[in-house]
Amino acid sequence: VTDPTKPTLVSGADTRRLLGPWQPPAGEVESEGTWGFADTAFTIDAEGRVLLTGNRYSLAGQPLPNLLPWMRGVMEVDLRADDRHAPHFPPAIPEPVRNAGLETELAGYLRPDQISLDGIQRLRRGHGHTQEEVYNLKHGHWKRIPDLVTFPESDEEVAQLVESAIRHGAVLIPYGGGTNVTDALRCPENEQRTIVSVDMKRMNRIRWIDPVNRLACIEAGAVGRHIVSQLAEHGLMMGHEPDSIEFSTLGGWIATRASGMKKNRYGNIEDIVMDLTAVTAHGALERRQVAPRESVGLEPRQWMFGSEGNLGIITSAVVKLFPLPEVQHYDSLLFKDFSSGVAFMYDLAQAGDWPASARLVDNVQFQFSMALKPASTGFKAWKSKLEKSVVTGVLGYNPNQMVACTLVFEGTREEVARQQALVKRLSKQHGGMPAGGENGARGYQLTFGIAYIRDFVLDHWILAESFETSVPWTQLEGLISRVKQRLLDEHAARKLPGKPFITARVTQIYDTGACVYFYFAYYYKGTPNPTAVYHELENAARDEILKCGGSLSHHHGIGKLRQGFLPQIASPATLAWQAAAKQALDPTNVFGVANQVAPLDASVTPHATDAVKSH
């Protein structure tokens, strides 16, 4: 009795299904000056209630009367609907640095629609979504952006672009979804050469799917949401769901060593990608075989994970597939306080049979998600309702201390039932209360809708940004509370108005530790250079993170934002290796994006006893 939905092994059969070219559905227009789709934005309605436009998100279309009052309370500032810091998009666009020889050569193998000098197009490819970049789109000056945007459609065209750029002394910056929060796309101001953005979006094909060997070959410019929908037509999935999945691309995931929200079940990007091709200054890294696992010496392809555009342009990858789960089930839990929640997450990690996703949000984030509920009543009524609810009233949960955990279960009916039973047992041990599947689904989906809020609050004098780390279990709680305190102290020391908004969640669990994700926002009205101040505060938080045993990044990467911290996490020899490898592998610096790798400093001389003492 074989299950007809399951693939059957036929030895020797060619089980690859070749797929043809593919066009994204019409109507999926991305915004030029803000996050996300053009039809979606937070606004304020006539009655002063916040409203998410469009109909893409569960949050959309319903007035959110509690949000502004709640934020006023938390940030202790007078957030008024009519007090706007009006954005000015587009900003002035710098003139491109032209390179006539290069342009002539490109015209030899690219069609006119594959080359653009358009200012808005160039601007978009010169930024990601750091607080500074987002602010500067509305209020800033742009000294340097890409000079030219190209849209290659094949490996051969990417290879030709690399040759042309080397020949004509230009710089290439690969562009995927533009969703990074590390200043990875920011153009170095002192770059004199012509900067060519290589937009990979037209390399969006799934070339083939092999359901028996559970592999697919996908071009690097394919966008997450399109990969999901196309694979689903075949009953398959890749399982990689970063918060940015709607817009980020396969190539970007590899280049930044991305992590998905369901990594417990499907793995992080390095677990899912079985092989990749990349065009480098030395030619194309590629191979014939796709092995399930190998030991074949130094592996240049592996070096592309986390390379962030420094070493070459990823053009395609062979990824592992999974069958769509028989069952998907959301759930949520409430805990009395953050410590109880962390203890639960630790025990879940130790038990090993993990739900696809388990995330623990702190009290502020819990309150935030409550404030995002489209309550029909006013803020006071809502707050009083919360205070009188069963958990707070009968069970004595303090609304200012309780936290929530959202869970996603995926798998066979049996697996999901088993994991649910485990979660129930462990939750009980830590005084947890079931809070229902609807809240779980809402909590999980909120990630996508909430991404639009930053542009909204920015128009009301609030600068916001997220940053993350990973840390061993015993250091997790201390790290979170010390980072929060450090931000409070730094905020107070600068006499900034109101209170900062600081919240943390545990987003990924591992055997040996977890990923912690912070949101930090502050009210900048009246503060000169608000992005510089944010940067100072964020650096202080990062300094505290490192002191508490956290990593420099769990999945965002380094970019240009965190470069300065590398000497604190890596020994001089490590930095020398990075620089020497960059120089050897990209001798003309054609991939001159200047992310993470500092130029080889003559003062860092090879010396075997230079040592950051470690374990």
User: Least distance to a second copy from the beta carbon of 558, Å?
Assistant: 4
Among 4, 5, 10, 493, contact with a second copy (rule: CB under 8 A): 10
Give the 3-state secondary structure of residue 380. helix
User: Least distance to a second copy from the beta carbon of 64, Å?
Assistant: 33
Residue 517 is among the residues annotated as catalytic for this protein: yes
Residue type, 311: L
Binding range to a second copy, per CB under 8 A, among 6-14, 80-88, 145-153, 367-375? 6-14
Binding range to a second copy, per CB under 8 A, among 91-99, 137-145, 368-376, 571-579? 571-579
Asked whether position 613 contacts a second copy by CB under 8 A, the answer is yes
Instruction: Please list, residue by residue across 529-554, b when 16 or more beta carbons sit within 10 angstroms of its beta carbon and e when fewer do.
Output: ebbebbbebbebbbebbbebbbbbbb
Asked whether position 242 contacts a second copy by CB under 8 A, the answer is no
Asked whether position 20 contacts a second copy by CB under 8 A, the answer is no
Strands of 115-116's sheet in order across: 115-116, 148-150, 195-199, 171-175
Cα gap 510→354, rounded to integer Å: 10
Among 200, 372, 404, 576, contact with a second copy (rule: CB under 8 A): 576
- Show contacts with a second copy in window 31-90 (CB under 8 A): none
Asked whether position 379 contacts a second copy by CB under 8 A, the answer is no
Instruction: Please list, residue by residue across 112-127, b when 16 or more beta carbons sit within 10 angstroms of its beta carbon and e when fewer do.
Output: eebebeebebbbbbbb
User: Least distance to a second copy from the beta carbon of 165, Å?
Assistant: 9
Among 160, 46, 144, 140, CA closest to 85: 140
Asked whether position 18 contacts a second copy by CB under 8 A, the answer is no
Residue type, 385: K
Asked whether position 476 contacts a second copy by CB under 8 A, the answer is yes
Instruction: Please list, residue by residue across 308-333, b when 16 or more beta carbons sit within 10 angstroms of its beta carbon and e when fewer do.
Output: bbbbbbbbbbbbbbbbebeeebbbbb
Mark residues 504-543: x for contact with a second copy by CB under 8 A, - for none.
----x-xxxxxx----------------------------
**Total site size for a second copy, rule CB under 8 A:** 138
Among 339, 377, 400, 485, contact with a second copy (rule: CB under 8 A): 339
Contacts of 126 (CB under 8 A, 6+ apart): 142, 144, 145, 146, 185, 186, 187, 197
Rounded to 10 degrees, the C-alpha dihedral 331/336/337/343 comes to -70
Six-digit token string for 15? 């089980």
Binding range to a second copy, per CB under 8 A, among 42-50, 187-195, 336-344, 449-457? 336-344
User: Least distance to a second copy from the beta carbon of 557, Å?
Assistant: 5
Q: What is the 3-state secondary structure (H, E, C) of 530-577?
A: HHHHHHHHHHHHHHHHHHCCCCCCCCCCCCCCCHHHHHHHCCHHHHHH
Cα gap 444→442, rounded to integer Å: 5
Asked whether position 129 contacts a second copy by CB under 8 A, the answer is no
Mark residues 490-509: x for contact with a second copy by CB under 8 A, - for none.
------------------x-
- Show contacts with a second copy in window 315-334 (CB under 8 A): 316, 318, 320, 322
Written as one string, the DSSP assignment of 191-210 is --SPEEEEE-TT---EEEEE
Burial class (CB within 10 angstroms; exposed 0-12, middle 13-18, buried 19+) of 228? middle
Among 64, 71, 238, 342, contact with a second copy (rule: CB under 8 A): 342
Among 378, 312, 1, CA closest to 162: 312
Give, as one character, the DSSP assignment of residue 431: T
Cα gap 234→349, rounded to integer Å: 32
Binding range to a second copy, per CB under 8 A, among 53-61, 92-100, 345-353, 457-465? 345-353
Of these residues, 135, 517, 519, 534, which one is catalytic?
517
Asked whether position 303 contacts a second copy by CB under 8 A, the answer is yes
Among 76, 83, 299, 489, contact with a second copy (rule: CB under 8 A): 299
User: Least distance to a second copy from the beta carbon of 232, Å?
Assistant: 18
Q: Please identify, using beta-carbon distances, which residue of 111 and 293 lies nearer to a second copy.
A: 293
Asked whether position 567 contacts a second copy by CB under 8 A, the answer is no
Among 553, 560, 593, 594, contact with a second copy (rule: CB under 8 A): 553
Among 350, 431, 457, 5, CA closest to 211: 5
Mark residues 161-190: x for contact with a second copy by CB under 8 A, - for none.
-xx--x------------------------
Asked whether position 249 contacts a second copy by CB under 8 A, the answer is no
Asked whether position 287 contacts a second copy by CB under 8 A, the answer is yes
Asked whether position 109 contacts a second copy by CB under 8 A, the answer is no
Mark residues 587-606: x for contact with a second copy by CB under 8 A, - for none.
x-------xxx--------x
Cα gap 262→356, rounded to integer Å: 5
- The H or E element that residue 408 is part of is strand 403-411
Give, as one character, the DSSP assignment of residue 324: P
Among 535, 539, 581, 589, contact with a second copy (rule: CB under 8 A): 581
Q: Please identify, using beta-carbon distances, which residue of 30 and 270 lies nearer to a second copy.
A: 270
Residue positions annotated with a catalytic role: 517
